[in-house]
Structure 1
C-alpha cells in the first residue's frame, strides 16, 4: 500500500521547532519557553514565547535572527530578564510583561549569561567571563568591527600554554578569563562582582533572604589536577566565601529550600569514576549536616537521554515544593525519563513516566502543578500541564504541519539476552514503506558516552535511515545509563569485551527473530565511543558489509595527550593511562587491528573536535589506506565534537548525506 505521507529527508531537521526551558510566572497562570529553529543563514535562532494557561494563547515575544534564551520572571511578574546575542555577544535584557521594547541591562565586553532573580526582586544575578583586573563598573561592549580586529590581532600571536586544561571541545583554546558571579542592583542600576578567585564559578541559587549566593567550583590551589567540584556560599555584603562540601566529589544543581534552612543538590564522590550514579543530598545550612535521600535507589538522577534534536537547556531538578516537604526531579531509567518526587524521609514516587523523554519541567507552588516538556520517538517535543490530580493536558502542538506531511516510524522496543545472561534493551525501526515478504538491509547504531542512553525520544538520524529503506537497531549495551550502577560501570576496563558481545548478541537476536532483515547486507555506525566501537567491530568481525565511524577513537596512546579529557578519561575508562601501561592501551586501540579490517569504512571527523581530535581519524585512515583497504575520510571544517547535534546545519546535512551515500553504495 502506498504511503500517504512522504519519507523524512536529511534536510528535515531544519524544519523542526525545538522547545526548551519552560518557566512559570509567579501567578502560575502563564509560562515562558524557548523555541529554537534553523534560519536561512545556516544558523540557529532561539525565540521567547509566553503561553496563557487560561486561554491557551501563545505569544511570541522576541524576533529576528538572534539567540534569545533563559527567560526568568521577576518575583512580581511584571518583568522578564533574558539572555540575547542581538547586540553581538550574549547580554542581559529586560522586558516588561505588558509589552514594549526590551531594555539592555549589561554591556560586558565578553557578554553576560544565565540570569536569575533574587526572591525579593532586588537583584539579578548572572555570570560573566572576566580577566583578573576587569572592573565590572566600567564594562563596555565592543562593536562588531572591534571584535573582528581583536580576533585578527589575536590570530597573529603565538599561544603560550601553561595549564593542563588549556582547551575544551566547548570553547576551543582557553584564555585567562574566568566565569565570575555578578550581582546587578535593579533599582540603582549598579554591578557588584561577588567572586574573584582564579577559577570558574557556577551560579546555583540565592538564599530567600537575598543575603547569600550559592555557587559551585573548585577553589583549591591544585584545581586543574582535581576532578572535584564543591559547593560554596558567598555573602553579598561581606563577600566572605564558605565551603559547604567535603572536596571529595562533584556536586551541582543546588537550590535553597523556601525557608533557606536547607540546600538540595545532586552529586557523587566518584566511587565508579565517570560511571558513578548521581545521588540526591540535603544539607542543613545551620549544622552543615548532609543527608543522602537516594542511597537505596539504583537509577540515574537527571536527564541522560541521547538525541540529535535537543537544543537549549531545561530544568531537571532538584526543585523544592512550596511546603518544603518534597523535592521534584527528572530521573533516567530503562530507556525513558520521568518526573519524580521524594519526601525528606526518602520515600520515592513517580509523578509522570510514560515510555517517553521528559526533558524539562517547571513547578508552580500555588496550584501544585507542573509544565513538563516531553519528546517521543514520533514527536520531537511538546509541553504538557500536569496538575495536582495527575491529569495531563497537552499545551502546545509543535511541528504539527511537519508531522502531518512526513512519515515518522514508531520503534519496536525489544529485550534480548547477552552472552552472560544480562538483559539488554533496544529498539528496532522498520523501513519506510515496509512490505511483508521483502528483505531489507540493516544498520546497527551505537551511542557515544559510553555512559549515556538511547531511548524513547525523537531521533532524526534513526528516522532518516529507516526512510532510506534500512532496518535500524539501536541498543543500550553494558556501560549505558538507565539500568543501575553495576550495569553502567560494567564496560570500564573492558572496552571491546562484553560491550562488544552485547552488540553482536543484539544483531544475532534480530536476525533470528525478524526474517525481513537481509543477513548479507549489514551496516554499522556510531560516534565518539560509538565510533571507537565501530572501529573495534570492523577489526574483530567481517559480518558487516559497510561501516561509518564518526568522531571516533582509534589510538588510546595518543588520545591521552591530544583530547581535552584524555589525561583522566583513559584512566577512568580503561584503568590505566599512557604513563602506566602502554601495552594495555595499545591492546584497547582499534588501530592495532587495522590489518584485520575487510569492511569498507567511511571515517567522518570534525576539524575542530577537541574531545576526540581529528588525528584519531587521520591515523586510522592512513593505516587502512597504507594497507590498501577500502576506506574514505571526510573532514568537516570548523566542526566540533557536537557536529551531529548542534553543528552548522549545512554541515549536519552533509554528514547525513555521506552516511546515507556510503550505506547505499555498499549495502
Structure 2
C-alpha cells in the first residue's frame, strides 16, 4: 500500500445556462491496494453466486484516506487517464461544497466496475441529495492493464451556483454533525490539594451512540489516565476520589489514592440516594426517598396540579451515615420534602431546607431553613416560609450563612426596581446572614449580572461565583468583609462551570465562546492567571472555517441600550445582499454566546445567512430593572425591541436583504415568534418551537404553567387580567398573521403542551395562511434523541431555505407534497 500524504485539489469547471455542471479534471489518487483471490473452497457461495470482480470491489478500504494522498491525476475536458499498471484497487477523490441543500447528479464515464462513496458512505445510483457542507466524493475501482479509456466525471445541479470548489487555503464548512457529534466535557473537579483534575466527558459517535468517560490528570506533569465511566468525586480534605459500586445489599463506597492507585472500601450497604461527604470525612448525608400513596393507573385522582408529574407524591428526607459504625440516623420525619444544602466545615451543623406548597398566593412554594446540630438533632429556625429564597452555604468559620434568592427574598431587602415593577423571580441575587443576630445584608442589590454557581472557599475565605453578564457568563470574586465584587478576567465568553480546590489557591473551569467549543482551564487565585490544560475545541473544529461574530447594540425608542451581536458567513462579501435570521431568548435567560446550542448560529451563517442575536427587555444579566420588564408584560416591550432592532440593523448594514428576514425562538421565544407576526410584517418566514399560543391554556395545562406564570404574570390570573392573558395571546390575534409560520413541537412536551401549537396551526389553516406543523414524536421540551434532533434541525434549515433563499428542494425532500 502506498504511503498517503496531502495535497490540495484543483478543478476545471464548465457552466451551462440551465444547470451548474462541474467537470472534474483533477483528482487525488491512492493505490494500488493489492488484492488476491481467496482460497476457493467451493465454486459458489451460500447464495449460489460465483466469484467475480465485484468481490474485489467489496474489499474494505478506508476510503477517506485518499484525501491525504500526495498523488494527483490531472486531465482535460476529454477526461483523465487512469493508472492501470496492475489489477489492484484504486481510490479517486475530489471535494465540492454547497451552502444550501441541493439535489445533484454524478455521471461517471470510462469505468465499468466501480463503487461511489459520498462522505465515506457508499451510494447507489447517480442521484445525490447534498445537505449544506463540504463533501468528499470517492470512487473505488479495479485497475485494468488493457484499458485505454479516459475517466470523465461530471457533477450537475438543476440551478446555477449551488456547488462550488473549496478554496485550497481555507477549511471546510461546519455541519450539524460538528455540533452534535464528538467529545464534550461535562464537568471538571480539582482535588483539595490542587494537584489533580477529574474530568467527565460524553462522546457522541455519529449515529447517536453516547459513551461516558472520566480522566484523572496530574496537573504538574499533564499525565492523564482513563479512570472508567463511573461517576467519581473528590473527598473534601484527603485528596482521594471516591466512587460507588452496586452490590446485592446496597452500594459500596470506595476511595482511591491518585498517587498510588490504592483502593479502600470505606462504606458498605449504602442505600440509594445522593451523597454528600462531611468536611470532616467521618459521616455522609444521604438524600433518601419515601414513596407516596399510589393510585390506580386506569382511573385516578389528581390532588393538585403538580400531582400530574411522576414521582410528585414521593418525599425526600436526609439521613446521616456514620462511616465508623455504619449506623444510619434519619435527620427528619414528616411529609414535607427536606434536604441538606450544606454542612459546616467542623461537621457540627447542617442547613436543612423544608419545602411546602401554598397554591392560593404567590409564591406558591415556600421554603423554611433550619440550622441543625447533627449530634443532638436540635434545630433553630433561620428562614420562615420565604418563597423567594434559594440555596444556602456556611461561611468557613460557621458564623455566617450565604443565601441565593430572588430580589424579593427577605421581604424585598435586595430589590432594585422601579416602584411599579415586580422583580423577575429568575434574577438571582446573594444575601449574607449573621447567624447570631439573623441580620440580613444584600450583597448584589446594585450588581447587574444574575448569579449562578456559588462557592465559599475555605482556603482564602472568598466567595466565588459565575453570573449571567449580558450575553456572557463571567467569573467573579466577592470579599465578604468589605462586600466588594471583582470580575476575574478569563479568555472565554462563557464560564460553563467551575470548581475550587479547598486547600490550595487554584480553581478549574470550563470555558466556551461564540466562535469556539469547550476548553478546560486552571486559574491561580493569587494572580488570577488562567492556563489552558485541555482544548477540545481544537479537535472538534479542526479543518473548519467559520465566519466572524461582532457585537452590535442599539438604543431603542425608550432610550434603552439593547444588546446584541451578529454572525457573518465564511467568505463574507459586504457588496452582496444576504438573507438574515433573527434569534432571541426563551425562558428568561439571555441568548448567550454558546458555540453549541439547539440554534447553532455559526451553522446558520455557514449556510449563507446573516444571523442577528438580540437580547431584548426582560432578559436576566442586565440588571433587575431590565429583567423585571419580562413580568406582567406578556411580550409588550420585548416585541418592540426586536422589531426596532431588526429595522435599525438593516438600516445600518446594507448587506442585509430586508425582504428576506426570518425569525426563530423556543418556549417563551416560540411565543414571541408568534406574537411578533401579529405586530409586524418585516419577516418573510418564522419558526415557533414549543411556543405558547394562548396564555390561558398554557397557564393551566403545562406541568409548570402556573408556576412559570408566577414569573411572567406575577399576581395576575386569567380571571383578573384578560388584557394580559387573552388580548396578548397570539391565538386571539391569529387573523393578523400573514407570515409563513412553521410550528415545531415534541409530542411529549410537559412544559408547553403540544396543544399550544395545534390550536394556533388550526387557526392559521382555517384562515388560509401559509403554515406547517411538524411533530417530533415522544420528545419533551427539548429534542434530545439523536436521529430526531438531526431531522428537526434539517426541518428548520429547510423552512428557511424555502422562504429566505427561494428554494423548496430541501423541504420537498423532507416533506413531499401529498394529494389530500
Question: What is the TM-score normalised by the length of structure 1?
Answer: 0.85
Which structure has the larger Rg? 2
Report the secondary structure of 1:359's partner residue.
strand
After superposition, the Cα gap between the structure-2 partners of 1:322 and 1:233, relative to the gap in structure 1 and judged at 3 Å, is same
After superposition, the Cα gap between the structure-2 partners of 1:296 and 1:446, relative to the gap in structure 1 and judged at 3 Å, is closer
Report the secondary structure of 1:13's partner residue.
helix
After superposition, the Cα gap between the structure-2 partners of 1:22 and 1:381, relative to the gap in structure 1 and judged at 3 Å, is same
Report the CA distance between 1:362 and its aligned residue: 1.8
Report the CA distance between 1:617 and its aligned residue: 0.8
**Could you tell me whether the CA contact under 8 Å between 2:426 and 2:620 is conserved in 1?**
no
User: 1:298 maps to what in 2?
Assistant: 448
Aligned residues: 617
Report the CA distance between 1:353 and its aligned residue: 4.8
In structure 2, distance between residues paired with 1:226 and 1:74:
36
Q: Which of 464, 467, 483 lines up with 1:328 in the alignment?
A: 464
Q: How does 1:176-325 map to 2 (within 5 A)?
A: 176-219=313-356, 226-268=364-406, 269=408, 272-275=422-425, 277-302=427-452, 316-324=453-461
**Could you tell me whether the CA contact under 8 Å between 1:531 and 1:550 is conserved in 2?**
yes
After superposition, the Cα gap between the structure-2 partners of 1:494 and 1:581, relative to the gap in structure 1 and judged at 3 Å, is closer
After superposition, the Cα gap between the structure-2 partners of 1:504 and 1:15, relative to the gap in structure 1 and judged at 3 Å, is same
Mean Cα deviation higher: 490-499 or 553-562: 490-499
Q: How does 1:499-510 map to 2 (within 5 A)?
A: 499-510=638-649
In structure 2, distance between residues paired with 1:9 and 1:506:
29
User: 1:56 maps to what in 2?
Assistant: 222
Report the secondary structure of 1:411's partner residue.
strand
User: 2:279 maps to what in 1?
Assistant: 119
Report 1 or 2 for greater relative contact order, CA contacts < 8 Å, sequence distance ≥ 6.
1
Q: How does 1:246-645 map to 2 (within 5 A)?
A: 246-268=384-406, 269=408, 272-275=422-425, 277-302=427-452, 316-324=453-461, 326-343=462-479, 344-353=481-490, 356-387=493-524, 388-449=526-587, 451-460=588-597, 461-570=600-709, 572-574=711-713, 576-643=716-783
After superposition, the Cα gap between the structure-2 partners of 1:249 and 1:163, relative to the gap in structure 1 and judged at 3 Å, is closer
After superposition, the Cα gap between the structure-2 partners of 1:510 and 1:106, relative to the gap in structure 1 and judged at 3 Å, is farther
After superposition, the Cα gap between the structure-2 partners of 1:202 and 1:399, relative to the gap in structure 1 and judged at 3 Å, is farther
**Could you tell me whether the CA contact under 8 Å between 1:253 and 1:317 is conserved in 2?**
no
In structure 2, distance between residues paired with 1:7 and 1:192:
59
More helix by share: 1
Q: Where does structure 1 differ by over 6 angstroms across 4 or more consecutive aligned residues?
A: 100-109, 220-225
Report the CA distance between 1:117 and its aligned residue: 1.2
Report the CA distance between 1:378 and its aligned residue: 1.8
User: 2:176 maps to what in 1?
Assistant: 10
After superposition, the Cα gap between the structure-2 partners of 1:92 and 1:585, relative to the gap in structure 1 and judged at 3 Å, is farther
**Could you tell me whether the CA contact under 8 Å between 1:432 and 1:468 is conserved in 2?**
no
In structure 1, distance between residues paired with 2:557 and 2:366:
37
User: 2:299 maps to what in 1?
Assistant: 158
**Could you tell me whether the CA contact under 8 Å between 1:205 and 1:256 is conserved in 2?**
yes
After superposition, the Cα gap between the structure-2 partners of 1:554 and 1:70, relative to the gap in structure 1 and judged at 3 Å, is farther
In structure 2, distance between residues paired with 1:367 and 1:419:
51
**Could you tell me whether the CA contact under 8 Å between 2:339 and 2:352 is conserved in 1?**
yes
CA RMSD between the two structures: 3.0
In structure 2, distance between residues paired with 1:438 and 1:87:
66
**Could you tell me whether the CA contact under 8 Å between 2:402 and 2:431 is conserved in 1?**
yes
Report the secondary structure of 2:793's partner residue.
helix
In structure 2, distance between residues paired with 1:106 and 1:642:
38
Report the secondary structure of 2:464's partner residue.
strand
Question: What is the TM-score normalised by the length of structure 2?
Answer: 0.70
Report the CA distance between 1:492 and its aligned residue: 2.2
Report the CA distance between 1:539 and its aligned residue: 2.0
In structure 1, distance between residues paired with 2:255 and 2:795:
44
**Could you tell me whether the CA contact under 8 Å between 2:391 and 2:404 is conserved in 1?**
yes
In structure 2, distance between residues paired with 1:263 and 1:613:
40
In the alignment, structure 1 segments of 5+ residues that lack a partner are 134-152, 303-315
After superposition, the Cα gap between the structure-2 partners of 1:366 and 1:463, relative to the gap in structure 1 and judged at 3 Å, is same
CA deviation vs aligned residue, 1:394-417 (integer Å, no higher than 9, x gap): 111214222113234431111111
User: 2:147 maps to what in 1?
Assistant: none
**Could you tell me whether the CA contact under 8 Å between 1:335 and 1:355 is conserved in 2?**
no
In the alignment, structure 2 segments of 5+ residues that lack a partner are 1-165, 413-421, 805-820
After superposition, the Cα gap between the structure-2 partners of 1:23 and 1:572, relative to the gap in structure 1 and judged at 3 Å, is closer
After superposition, the Cα gap between the structure-2 partners of 1:511 and 1:323, relative to the gap in structure 1 and judged at 3 Å, is closer
User: 1:309 maps to what in 2?
Assistant: none
After superposition, the Cα gap between the structure-2 partners of 1:294 and 1:258, relative to the gap in structure 1 and judged at 3 Å, is same
After superposition, the Cα gap between the structure-2 partners of 1:657 and 1:486, relative to the gap in structure 1 and judged at 3 Å, is same
Report the secondary structure of 2:432's partner residue.
strand
